[in-house]
Structure formats: structure tokens, C-alpha cells
Structure 1
């Protein structure tokens, strides 16, 4: 599935991205749109992937 994120300002993005990245139950979001500083860049995609891996690791460790 694909998607896009849109925030009106950098401040709004930095405030809301941690909430979105946390995901919900079995859903975790990843990709360039999940980076608070480098959205729409390859750097952001890599940061988003690392954030997702860290969140996934935390969830697996709780099992």
C-alpha cells in the first residue's frame, strides 16, 4: 500500500510525526513521510525505515 503525509508546517510535522510513527497495535508506518526532518528525500526514507525497525524490535521484545 502507498500513501502520503502532509503537514502545514515543520513545527506541526515535528509535533505529530512521533504519534504517527508509533502506529497502532499491529500497524507500523514507515518511509520518507515518517521522517521529522527529511521528508520526501532518500535520507528520510532510510530514517523512517530505521524508526520502524526500532519500534518493531521494541514490540517483539515485549512478547
Structure 2
């Protein structure tokens, strides 16, 4: 089970990083709930999620 958890955690972190790349592209709006969901799954703390959402202009 530990290996499965590590795999999921790694995939969640990769999704978070992909979100940051996607948000940097012009004309690609990102929903606030997507930022929150991916951030929580990746184990990112709430203050970092809030900072990133504000920085990329995530729409609510």
C-alpha cells in the first residue's frame, strides 16, 4: 500500500506542476476549484494554494 500511496502522491504533484504550466499560457483560464483540488491532492499547504491562485488569476 505504501508504494501505491507514493505513486499517487507523485502523480498528484505532477498534476500540480502541470497546472502551473497550463496557467502560464495565455488564454487558458483555470478555475479556482481546480487549483484547490490539485493543490490539496499534491499536499500543498493552503497558503501556497492561495498564493498560486491569486498569482495566476484563477476564476472562481
Q: TM-score, normalised by structure 2?
A: 0.46
Higher relative contact order (CA 8 A, sep 6+): 2
Q: TM-score, normalised by structure 1?
A: 0.44
